A and B are shown apart, each in its own frame.
Chain A
Amino acid sequence: MTPEGSSPSYRRGCPQLAAEGLRKAYGPTPALDGADFSIHPGEVVAVMGPSGSGKSTLLHCLAGIIAPDSGTVRYGPYELTGLGDAQRSALRRSDFGFVFQFGQLVPELTALENVALPLRLNGTKRKEAERQAREWLERLEVDAASGQRPGELSGGQGQRIAVARALATRPRVIFADEPTGALDSLNGERVLTLLTDAARDTSAAVVLVTHESRVAAYSDREIVVRDGKVKDMLAGLR
């Protein structure tokens, strides 16, 4: 469901998401200082930079989780900063997917129920939601764990299920904040391969926040955030 409740016709448009002049301060400390950003459908952009540079704040502003002090975030025909809380929540549920480093799964639900949850919240009937959830679990190679609860899963399994859940609603933009930060190299690579392959197949854009170059190597291009300022390396090299 979009804020208007209709399937957006702009889904193949470009750029998918664009921000201009974002500023955000926490008290006297500036986290973002005039940041620009854009991403196209099917593109994977790595957001790099040292700890505390403003990477996560940028992601949260782009996803409409927090409001910037100034600047704009445009998603298709929508100006996110102009939407109310309820509209932004609806947009996040229907069009955005999220993968974080830790603690995303509901501990009381099975893996299958966790993946089906966002579909159910968007109004899909249980049987259909679980059918689609099962397909995503297969694609992420964790269908054998569908009946298990998060406490019974390994870190790698849990993260694959989190990715399956993020992809289940076929989001147009996936926000991934250090998605493999808690995984070993082998599991991390598999999760990244599955995530980026699935995103490209569905033309979803991926904003991939990471401080690891081996993770950033799965992206199409990188931007660097330093002291709240964004540098687009592709543009910088042109």
Chain B
Amino acid sequence: MSIGHTLLGLLESGPRHGYDLKRAFDEHFGHDRPLHYGQVYSTMSRLLKNGLVEVDAVETGAGPERKRYAITDAGVTDVAQWLARPEKPEPYLQSTLYTKVVLALMTGRNAAELLDTQRAEHLRLMRGLTERKRGGDLADQLICDHALFHLDADLRWLELTAARLDKLAETVAA
């Protein structure tokens, strides 16, 4: 999963402090792996350097300075491009896909379109593997079958998610 893009997506709803970003990330995507503070700040400083976020405000108090980050236009474009780009089909990428779907819903983008694009990309790869099986020996066929069954599992997840998009949108909006 791309933490940078996820944090950028979270910033689309409005400026946040690093601490708020971590909390929002953990709440939506970090069930098994909460984000370390160090990851948040190193990611934000990279995004800052690349002009994808800017410091919206700096709060000074008794403790260290607290920066509030806002997404820039370039950052919004970067998130849009990431969401529109299909992931290279590979096993166990559900967490990335899940993140993309939720972020698309959170940011008012077309999540069904995202799922359709990903389905097409998966099927494109499955066609290639099926073609390879036709001309291949038994070892080839078994290797291709292994990949095909994993891709098939991904596709079933895509279908199920597409069927539950309305419900997921309600959950995300709540």
Interface residues of A (CB under 8 A from B): 50, 193, 211-214, 216-220, 222, 224, 226, 231, 233, 236-237
Which residues of B (83-141) have their CB < 8 Å from a CB of A? 116-117, 119-120, 122-123, 126-127, 129-130, 134
Contact between chains at B116 and A231 (CB < 8 Å): yes
Q: Does B142 interact with chain A (Cβ within 8 Å)?
A: no
Contact between chains at B119 and A233 (CB < 8 Å): yes
Among B123, B151, B159, max chain A CB count under 10 A is at: B123
Quote the shortest CB–CB distance from A159 to chain B (angstroms).
Answer: 19
Tally of A-B Cβ pairs under 8 angstroms: 44
Contact between chains at B116 and A236 (CB < 8 Å): yes
Contact between chains at A217 and B127 (CB < 8 Å): yes
Which 3 A-B residue pairs are closest in the complex by CB-CB distance?
A217-B126, A213-B155, A217-B130
Q: What are 20 contact pairs spanning A and B, CB under 8 A?
A: A50-B162, A211-B159, A213-B119, A213-B126, A213-B156, A214-B152, A216-B126, A217-B123, A217-B127, A217-B130, A217-B148, A218-B130, A220-B127, A222-B120, A226-B162, A233-B119, A236-B116, A236-B117, A236-B120, A237-B117
Q: Does B163 interact with chain A (Cβ within 8 Å)?
A: yes
Contact between chains at A233 and B116 (CB < 8 Å): yes
Interface residues of B (CB under 8 A from A): 116-117, 119-120, 122-123, 126-127, 129-130, 134, 148, 151-152, 155-156, 159, 162-163
Contact between chains at B116 and A50 (CB < 8 Å): no
Complex alpha-carbon distance, A214 and B153, angstroms: 10
Chain A residues near B117 (CB, 8 Å)? 236-237
Given contacts A50-B159, A217-B123, contact A193 B148 (CB under 8 A): no
Chain B residues near A216 (CB, 8 Å)? 123, 126
Quote the shortest CB–CB distance from A31 to chain B (angstroms).
Answer: 18
Complex alpha-carbon distance, A219 and B162, angstroms: 22
Quote the shortest CB–CB distance from A94 to chain B (angstroms).
Answer: 30
Given contacts A213-B156, A219-B127, 9 further A-B contacts (CB under 8 A): A50-B159, A50-B162, A213-B126, A217-B127, A222-B120, A224-B119, A226-B162, A236-B117, A236-B120
Chain B residues near A219 (CB, 8 Å)? 127
Complex alpha-carbon distance, A219 and B134, angstroms: 13
Complex alpha-carbon distance, A237 and B148, angstroms: 22
Chain B residues near A231 (CB, 8 Å)? 116
Chain B residues near A226 (CB, 8 Å)? 162
Complex alpha-carbon distance, A218 and B123, angstroms: 10
Complex alpha-carbon distance, A4 and B27, angstroms: 68
Q: Among B120, B129, B163, which residue has its beta carbon within 8 angstroms of that of A237? A: B120
Among A217, A220, A231, max chain B CB count under 10 A is at: A217
Complex alpha-carbon distance, A178 and B102, angstroms: 33
Chain A residues near B116 (CB, 8 Å)? 224, 231, 233, 236
Chain B residues near A211 (CB, 8 Å)? 159
Chain B residues near A50 (CB, 8 Å)? 159, 162-163
Among A214, A218, A233, A237, max chain B CB count under 10 A is at: A214
Quote the shortest CB–CB distance from B125 to chain A (angstroms).
Answer: 9
Complex alpha-carbon distance, A220 and B120, angstroms: 12
Complex alpha-carbon distance, A216 and B129, angstroms: 12
Quote the shortest CB–CB distance from A216 to chain B (angstroms).
Answer: 6
Chain A residues near B127 (CB, 8 Å)? 217, 219-220
